Amino acid sequence: MFTAAASLRSCASSLAKAQCRRSLATSAASSTAQSSTTTGEPLTHYRITLRRSAISLPQNIKGTLEALGIHRRLQTVYHRHTPDIAGKILTVKELVTVENVPESAVRTKWEQRQERKAPRGYSVTGSKLQVDL
Amino acid sequence: MFGAFRPTQPTFVGLLWKTPWKLSRTRKANVRARLKRVDSVIEAVKESGVQCAALTKALELPKEHEMPPRDKYTVFSRHAKGYRKGIHKVPKWTRMTLRTNPKGF
């Protein structure tokens, strides 16, 4: 029982670590890709974040945000590089920030949520009892 | 003379909001920062390699460093004296594209 729990815990911690590593790796990759597009992966997606609210702006702008799948401020969505998405971004260019990212940096809503979370569980680094003995 | 009951226009006439006729140094700095942020969005869309009518239209807009101060902080108004008024008098001015003005004004 105890071993099972321990293994679960270690699994959880390793998962969290892996996720951490993944997010770190991807952030590093995206930054390098931004600086030099030729060396890294091809940049295929827009990372769109809503910075300014569309409250009391015309319906067409509000509708464009809905069409991009943005419902609240500071929400981030990913879209492929296509002319229709580019046009939508430019319609709301005062409200959003846009980055070009490779395919590997694309996150779903759930994945973004998991990356925001603090790592679950703990890992035993040592025991004072064992040191004394 | 001082305090809550000093004779000022807002205390005498009730609801009175005054808009300064020109922007302060800080507000102008914020204008420039916003313009640069929009420039970066257009630049990112341009770098994606996509071609569309909206992009060609957006690229025709002057960039922040190409705009004269006159265009950054004021807009054309046919009613104002000198045909110019402060850009902060335009409703929703921080979230609109107000970069170009009629030629000659």
Say what the pLDDT of residue A128 is: 83
Write down the mean pLDDT value for chain A: 79
- Give the count of domains, chain B: 1
- Give CB contacts under 8 A, 24+ apart, made by A61-68: A61/A91, A61/A92, A61/A95, A64/A88, A64/A91, A64/A92, A65/A92, A65/A95, A68/A92
Confidence tier at A110 by pLDDT (50, 70, 90): very high
Q: Where are the domains of chain A?
A: 2-117
For residue B37, which residues of chain A lie inside 8 Å, CB to CB? 51, 97
pLDDT at res. A24 = 41
Query: Does the domain at residues A2-117 carry the CATH identifier 3.30.1390.20?
Result: yes
The answer to whether residue B56 is domain-embedded is: yes
For residue A3, is pLDDT > 70? Answer: no
Q: What is the mean pLDDT of residues A88-97?
A: 96
Domain span at residue B78 reads 21-95
Across the interface, do A81 and B49 touch by the CB < 8 Å criterion? Answer: yes
Residue B76: per-residue pLDDT: 96
The answer to whether ipTM exceeds 0.85 is no
Residues 6+ apart with CB under 8 A from A106: A45, A78
Tokens of residue B66, six digits: 């190409």
A25 pLDDT tier (thresholds 50, 70, 90): very low
Indicate whether B3 belongs to any domain. no
When scoring B31, B45, B93 by the number of chain A Cβ atoms within 10 A, the one with the most, hence best to mutate, is B45
Asked if residue A16 has pLDDT above 50, the reply is no
**A36-66: pLDDT as tens digits:** 445 688 999 999 999 999 999 999 999 999 9
The reported pLDDT for the residue numbered A132 is 61
Q: Which among B60, B55, B64, B41 is positioned nearest to A100, based on CA atoms?
A: B41
* Angle at alpha carbon of residue A111, lines to A72 and A3, rounded to 5°: 140
Average pLDDT over residues B73-97: 95
Q: What is the pLDDT of residue A7?
A: 44
A130 — pLDDT class (breaks 50, 70, 90): confident
pLDDT at residue A28, as a whole number: 40
- Residue of B67 and A129 predicted with greater confidence: B67
- Confidence (pLDDT) at A38: 54
Q: Is the pLDDT of residue B74 over 70?
A: yes
More confident residue, B73 or B10: B73
Question: Looking at beta carbons, which residues of chain A come within 8 Å of B43?
Answer: none
Residue B89 inside a domain? The answer is yes
Mean pLDDT score across all residues of chain B:
91
Whether A83 and B96 lie within 8 Å, measured CB to CB? no
Burial class (CB in 10 A: 0-12, 13-18, 19+), A92: buried
Show residues of chain B in contact with A86, CB under 8 Å. Answer: 45, 48, 50, 52, 54-55
The answer to whether residue B85 sits within a structural domain is: yes
B54: closest chain A residue by CA: A87
Residue A5 — very low, low, confident or very high, per pLDDT cuts 50/70/90?
very low
Residue A35: pLDDT band (50, 70, 90) is very low
